[in-house]
Structure 1
Amino acid sequence: MESDLHHVLGDLVVVNHRLTRVAARAAGGTESPALWRTLSVLRISGPVRLGALAENSRVSQPTATNLVTALEERGWVSRRVDPTDARASLIEASAAGLAALNAWRDELVTALMPLFADLGADEIELLRGAVEIVAARVDAVETAGAIGAVDAPGAEQMARS
């Protein structure tokens, strides 16, 4: 059972990346995927310091600085003084940035619709159930702050794997 789960999760990660690339190509977007990832991280995390943004985005701090600068130029993020340390800034997605992210996601979904248009109601429900399972686990881990967090559902098992 554990071996099956290991393979299924590996396949899920790979197919997710492939699906995202197919959608991005089909949508024909011109923005860097890193900009969208950064906005997505900010949507989930809320206002964060640059170092935390870099860590959550899995990029170097200089790369995060460049991404934030590009997003600021578009009006998609803003910086404000960290109330706990006036020397530091908090970066947060702006309403315009979140609207752009929503529009981009809608473009991706629209581009994918022809690929999935022939699914039946049962298959759509199966996908919906799979998304709910994955989303619940990811939400719990992100809320807890780390994969090894004991109170995240299944995290104890993940830590042993």
Structure 2
Amino acid sequence: MTSSHHFQPHDLVFTSSVFARHAAKLADVGVSSVSWRVIAAISRRGPLRPREIASLEQVSRPTATIFLQRLEKKGLLQRAVDPEDSRSVLFDLTDQGREALSTWRVSLDGALAPRLQELSEKDITTLIEAQNLMQRIIAEEN
């Protein structure tokens, strides 16, 4: 790294986490950030097994299963038999789950828009580049 700035990866992780919680609080989405992360992941990837959710969220499989059951009880997820393994299940979004995700995204965008409008075009470009870099790093791991 040939920058005069002293980069600490842990600072990036901490700041990203705090930013996500701050955004959820501003938007008052009514659910935990884990809920919308799981629902967004299923929206992007399609139906997922509990072990896949556990891996994405870095929790044990029993913890993921309990969490998925809560989202299912709220009507946001539905389960189906895994066609590749009839002993396993897949969780997918319900219509209510898709609607909730859309509402959450609008709320998050609306809550953050006034703060982002204060930034310069250069700052917005920097954020987009940082987002793209972070997505690339994540994609390399998955």
TM-score calculated relative to the size of structure 1: 0.73
| CA deviations over 1:51-84 (Å, ceiling 9, x no partner) | 2322222222332222222221232211111112
Larger CA deviation: 90-99 vs 5-14: 5-14
Q: Deviations over 1:132-151 (max 9, x none)?
A: 22223323332xxxxxxxxx
Amino-acid identity (%): 32
Q: What number of residue pairs does the alignment pair up?
A: 142
Shift of 1:4: 7.9
* 1:1-161 superposed matches below 5 A: 1=1, 7-142=7-142
The CA distance in 2 between the partners of 1:72 and 1:95, in whole Å, is 12
Residues 67 and 6 of structure 1: is their aligned pair in 2 closer, same or farther, counting only changes over 3 Å? farther
2:24 maps to a residue whose letter is A
Contact 1:77 1:94 in 2 (8 A): yes
CA RMSD in angstroms, aligned pairs only: 2.6
In structure 2, the residue matched to 1:145 is none
Instruction: Rate the CA distance shift 1:6–1:13 in 2: closer, same or farther, 3 A.
Output: farther
Separation in 1, partners of 2:17, 2:82: 34
**CA spacing shift, 1:57–1:45, aligned 2, 3 Å:** farther
The answer to whether the 8 A contact 1:47-1:92 is kept is yes
What letter corresponds to residue 71 of structure 1 in structure 2? L
Structure 2 spans left out of the alignment, 5+ residues: none
CA distance in 2, matches of 1:47, 1:21: 26
Q: 1:112 to 1:3 in 2, by over 3 A?
A: same
Structure 1 residues 36 and 4, CA gap change in structure 2 (3 angstroms): farther
Higher mean displacement: 2-11 or 132-141: 2-11
Q: Which sits farther off after the overlay, 35-44 or 4-13? A: 4-13
TM-score after normalising by structure 2? 0.81
Query: Residue 80 of structure 2: SS of its match in structure 1?
Result: strand
Unpaired runs of 5+ residues, structure 1, are 143-161
Give the letter for the 1:82 counterpart.
D
How far 1:8 sits from its partner (Å)?
4.5
Distance in 1 separating the partners of 2:95 and 2:73? 14
Q: Which has the higher contact order (CA 8 A, sep 6+)?
A: 2
Shift of residue 119, structure 1, vs aligned partner: 1.3
Whether the 8 Å CA contact 2:50–2:91 is kept in 1: the answer is: yes
Whether the aligned pair in 2 keeps the contact of 1:38 and 1:67 (CA below 8 Å) is no
